[in-house]
Amino acid sequence: NWAVTFYTQSNAIVIGDSRRTVGIGSGQRSRADSTRLAIYYANERSKLGAQGFVAASDAFFPETDAPELMGQAGITAVVYPLGSMKDEQVLETIEKYGMVALCTRPVPGTNKIERAISH
């Protein structure tokens, strides 16, 4: 999923597993709207919807709304870079739903945030 976000328009949320991608939301003004789209497509393409899949984001979560939607949809893990002023609250939301967080970090020795974007 992290690799797919590289080729997806910014504010990307990609939902899938090691075999397939079931939902992509991108190009929206907010990551929450992209999450809603990705969950919608996952619901259309998978018998279980987004439940049991992993979500990946091309950039940090500025608010807790997208992880909240992911948790409600039954996503089990989230891959995303740290860098938000609300990282702690985002991680608390992820933990509240029992999801696993795989967080990338700021580039060591710089103030640059790692992002999965190609442009």
The pLDDT of residue 114 is above 60? no
pLDDT band at 34 (very low <50, low <70, confident <90, very high): very high
| Whether pTM exceeds 0.75 | yes
Average per-residue pLDDT in the chain? Answer: 87
Tell me the percentage of the chain whose pLDDT exceeds 70: 83
Q: Are the CB atoms for 43 and 28 separated by under 8 Å? A: no
Neighbours of 92 (CB within 10 A): 12
Which of the residue ranges 6-15, 52-61, 66-75 would you say has the lowest mean pLDDT? 6-15
Judge whether residue 75 has pLDDT over 90.
yes
Amino acid at 4: V
- Residue 6's φ and ψ, nearest 5 degrees, are -60, -35
Q: Which of 119, 118, 70 is nearest to 97 (CA)?
A: 70
Measure the CA dihedral 67/80/75/85, to 10°.
-20
